[in-house]
């Protein structure tokens, strides 16, 4: 069904317009009480065995939506209704900003990938904080991550103040907070990944978050897949040293290797971060490296190229406490989360683990019974 809708409608539309339209429908569906319950019942049933604890948070499953889809936190409950176990909003910057000129989002359908140079278009920390503050708290309120970044016009040497503004405004409403220093679309942002800059920045954000909250808000850093392996090790060591709660790996890549889309088209698209299937191998590699280095002492959220339940399962076995997806949601549609949940549940049971937490970091077991993707439900 969704494949047909994608081919007949979305594929022919400008990708950013398609995003706004689809997101509008999601919010609309959530605003109609009967429809909301129906959609939730169909798309978001979860095996209780998938319940998991990470970052000190209790979640209905390990599979969340990556940052960037809901930059301003306008549709969190609608996204939760579709079956995401948690929703990371943002990136939110200190000040509101329009982002880069359009077109700034491109589909590489043959590669099941996207290139974006959105440039943190968002309403700014004060407005997003006010929206989160106004949310009614109910039993179905999902876990909300808040991802913060630097306002484009703020110079690099004043970046800390901008992050602190967001941290102070948003930490009281965040179940976890993410310092994003890895988007390729804000000039100079990735320079903040250098540990001598990143360490003090994270330390200051930690203090700022503690000042405005009475409880511990988990703090994570989101890193790029393009870092050298030694830099990944350094960041992992620093995260442990600072007592950070976790690392999100990875953001989009500036690499363009191994794509099926013709080179001329890639050239025409130009700058931006590549996400989706081509990111899969590197994202898994970064996860494995982080796990080896940190050995379960901090939480790892793996994101990048996750398309199937098998992908998500492999990340969990490789040491991911939680996983996220974004690009595959665009290609697979609203039944994707249900499919991944069903596949994860089947794998968990086949492998004989009592919980997701038990499977984290167990590595790929040779003797493990396999559950093939085509054996799972294919009702989308
Ligand atoms: C259109 C688009 C916008 C994104 N915006 C953000 C963002 O604002 N902040 C961020 O940390 N990551 C952002 N991301 C990165 C995703 O959260 C994720 O790390 C990346 O896409 C890799 O996952 P995927 O292969 O499942 O898409 C964005 C990705 C896409 C495709």
pLDDT tens digits, residue range 335-363?
A: 999 999 999 999 999 999 999 999 999 99
Distance CA 225, CA 247 (A): 12
Nearest ligand 1 atom to the CA of 66 is 17
Pick from 247, 252, 278 the residue to mutate for probing ligand 1's pocket: most ligand atoms within 8 Å of its CB. 252
How far is CA 245 from its chain centroid?
16
Residue 248 per-residue DSSP state: E
Nearest ligand 1 atom to the CA of 88 is 17
Average pLDDT, the chain: 94
**What are the residues facing 116 on neighbouring strands?**
105, 273
Distances (CA, A) of 10 to 14, 15, 17, 105, 333: 8, 7, 9, 13, 11
Strand ranges inside 157-270, DSSP E:
176-180, 219-223, 246-249
Ligand 1 near 147 CB (within 6 A): yes
Ligand 1 near 62 CB (within 6 A): no
Query: Average pLDDT of 262-267?
Result: 98
What is the CA(275)–ligand 1 centre distance, in A? 7
Of the listed ranges 175-179, 291-295, 373-377, the least confidently predicted one is: 373-377
Q: What is the dihedral of CA 44, 37, 142, 318, to 10 degrees?
A: 0
Strand ranges inside the chain, DSSP E:
52-54, 57-59, 63-65, 86-93, 105-108, 113-116, 143-149, 176-180, 219-223, 246-249, 273-276, 299-303, 322-325
Residues identified as active-site: 183
Q: 298: part of which helix (H) or strand (E)?
A: none
Of the listed ranges 16-20, 96-100, 257-261, 373-377, the least confidently predicted one is: 373-377
Q: 9: part of which helix (H) or strand (E)?
A: none
pLDDT of residue 8 exceeding 90, the answer is no
pLDDT, position 318: 97
Residue identified by tokens 């999100």 is 248
Q: What is the dihedral of CA 242, 248, 249, 254, to 10 degrees?
A: -100
pLDDT, position 366: 46
Ligand 1 near 294 CB (within 6 A): no
pLDDT of residue 320 exceeding 80, the answer is yes
Q: List the structure tokens of 191.
A: 């320079």
Ligand 1 near 129 CB (within 6 A): no
């Amino acid at each position: 069904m969704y494949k047909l809708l994608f081919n007949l409608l979305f594929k022919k539309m400008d990708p950013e317009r398609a995003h706004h339209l689809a997101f509008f429908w999601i919010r609309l569906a959530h605003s109609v009480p009967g429809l909301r319950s129906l959609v939730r019942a169909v798309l978001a049933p979860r095996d209780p065995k998938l319940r998991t604890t990470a970052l000190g948070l209790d979640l209905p499953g390990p599979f969340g939506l990556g940052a960037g889809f809901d930059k301003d936190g306008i549709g969190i409950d609608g996204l939760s209704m579709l079956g995401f176990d948690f929703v990371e909003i943002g990136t939110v910057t200190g000040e509101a900003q329009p982002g880069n000129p359009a077109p700034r989002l491109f589909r590489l359908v043959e590669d099941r990938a996207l290139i974006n140079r959105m440039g943190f278009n968002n309403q700014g920390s004060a407005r997003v904080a006010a929206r989160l503050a106004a949310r009614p708290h109910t039993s179905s309120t999902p876990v909300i991550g808040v991802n913060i970044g630097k306002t484009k016009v703020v110079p690099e040497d004043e970046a800390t103040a901008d992050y602190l503004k967001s941290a102070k405004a948003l930490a009281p409403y965040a179940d976890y907070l993410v310092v994003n220093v890895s988007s390729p679309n804000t000039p100079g942002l990735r320079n903040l990944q250098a540990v001598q800059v990143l360490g003090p920045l994270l330390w200051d954000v930690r203090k700022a978050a503690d000042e405005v909250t009475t409880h511990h808000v988990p703090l994570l850093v989101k890193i790029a897949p393009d870092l050298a392996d030694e830099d990944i090790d350094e960041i992992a060591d620093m995260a442990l040293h600072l007592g950070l709660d976790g690392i999100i790996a990875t953001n989009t890549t500036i690499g363009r290797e191994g794509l099926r889309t013709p080179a001329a088209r890639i050239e025409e698209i130009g700058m931006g971060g590549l996400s989706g299937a081509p990111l899969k191998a590197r994202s898994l590699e970064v996860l494995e490296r982080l796990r080896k280095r940190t050995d379960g002492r901090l939480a790892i959220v793996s994101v990048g190229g996750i398309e199937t339940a098998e992908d998500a399962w492999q990340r969990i076995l490789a040491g991911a406490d939680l996983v996220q997806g974004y690009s595959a949601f665009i290609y697979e549609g609203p039944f994707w989360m249900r499919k991944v949940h069903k596949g994860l549940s089947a794998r968990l049971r086949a492998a004989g683990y009592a919980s997701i937490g038990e499977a984290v970091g167990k590595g790929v077991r040779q003797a493990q019974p396999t559950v093939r993707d085509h054996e799972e439900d294919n009702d989308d």
